[in-house]
């Protein structure tokens, strides 16, 4: 953590791969990577469980630890060092997760590489480097713990999906995962806003950066949810209704009831 250059260079290389990778794969067949993805996602599930547990033990389970307004403990107290350590692991996990995009490129799943995906992955590396370098603990526990908890489910989903198409019938809960992510961001925004208002010892400029960053994620994830689920659902209902209206208007009410039940 002595210099920000490795983190900055990593993000720059990541962006170059995002831009050049699809062009490099354009005339090449997609890689399957099934066993690589199974191993990768399984390891990230385990890492997420470990980090969530460590954040919980070093904050919620610590007597006298303020869950709403915790300043950073820079001493060599075992619990403080342990919290700083899991903050580092959380930041390091964001470096590992850049491989998500690389796997999309190698499998020619370029539709998954959205602005939201690249923005979230790249920015987390830089934001958390600053956090671990200067504020390794305190209020950081909440966002790290919440995100690690969500990632247990997210990488479990990717793990199951990596086994093949026959697992799709067990992955009906995908849309609820996006809702969980949105709830997470609202909770983090509320926590950060409270800490900013109470002035818990974290540099105010960094706090406001996190506030606006959380808002940006809420906006982007909300748009993703609308485009992926609500808009497509409305289009599907409209497509079903159109021929019925032209053919027999008496069937409309039945289709409407069915669409509501769906």
For 109-141, the pLDDT digits (tens) are: 999 999 999 999 999 999 999 999 999 999 999
Report whether pLDDT(184) > 70: yes
pLDDT at 201: 82
**Domain residues for 246?**
5-261
**Is 191 known to be catalytic?**
no
pLDDT at 257: 42
Mean pLDDT of all residues in 131-155: 95
pLDDT at 232: 63
């033990």: which residue's tokens? Answer: 57
What the block records as the tokens of 66 is: 């303020």
Q: Could you tell me where the DSSP H helices lie in 26-107?
A: 34-57, 78-96, 99-106
Residue 71 near residue 201, CB atoms below 8 Å: yes
What is the longest distance spanned by two Cα atoms in the chain? 77
Mean pLDDT of all residues in 23-52: 97
Pick the more confident residue, 204 or 122.
122
Element (H, E) at 228: none
In a 13 Å sphere around the CA of 199, the CA atoms on its Cβ side amount to 0
Q: DSSP class of residue 163?
A: T
Report whether pLDDT(258) > 60: no
Structurally, how many domains does the chain consist of? 1
Chain segment 61-95, per-residue pLDDT in tens: 999 999 999 999 999 999 999 999 999 999 999 99
DSSP-based three-state secondary structure for 197: helix
Model confidence band, residue 238 (pLDDT cutoffs 50, 70, 90): low
Report whether pLDDT(248) > 60: no
Give the predicted TM-score (pTM) of the model.
0.86
- Rounded to the nearest integer, the mean pLDDT of the chain is 89
pLDDT at 254: 44
> Pick the catalytic residue: 117, 120, 121, 191?
120
């Amino acid at each position: 953590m002595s210099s920000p250059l490795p983190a900055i260079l990593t993000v720059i290389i990541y962006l170059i791969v995002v831009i050049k990778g699809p062009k490099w794969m354009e005339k090449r067949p997609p890689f399957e990577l099934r066993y690589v993805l199974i191993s990768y996602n399984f390891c990230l599930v385990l890492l997420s469980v470990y980090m969530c547990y460590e954040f919980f033990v070093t904050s919620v389970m610590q007597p006298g630890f303020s869950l709403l307004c915790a300043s950073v403990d820079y001493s060599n107290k075992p619990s403080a060092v342990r919290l700083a350590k899991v903050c580092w692991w959380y930041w390091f996990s964001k470096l590992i997760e850049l491989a998500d995009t690389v796997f999309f490129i190698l499998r020619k799943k370029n539709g998954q590489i959205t602005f939201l995906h690249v923005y979230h992955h790249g920015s987390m590396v830089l934001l958390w480097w600053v956090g671990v370098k200067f504020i390794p603990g305190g209020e950081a526990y909440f966002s790290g713990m919440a995100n690690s908890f969500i990632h247990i489910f997210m990488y479990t989903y990717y793990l199951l999906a990596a086994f093949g198409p026959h697992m799709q019938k067990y992955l009906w809960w995908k849309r609820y995962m996006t809702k969980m992510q949105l709830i997470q961001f609202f909770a983090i925004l509320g926590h950060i806003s409270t800490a900013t208002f109470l002035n818990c010892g974290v540099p105010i400029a960094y706090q406001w950066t996190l506030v606006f960053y959380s808002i940006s994620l809420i906006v982007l994830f909300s748009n993703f949810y609308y485009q992926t689920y609500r808009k497509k659902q409305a289009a599907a209902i409209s497509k079903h209704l159109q021929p019925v209206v032209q053919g027999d208007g008496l069937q409309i009410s039945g289709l409407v009831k069915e669409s509501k039940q769906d």
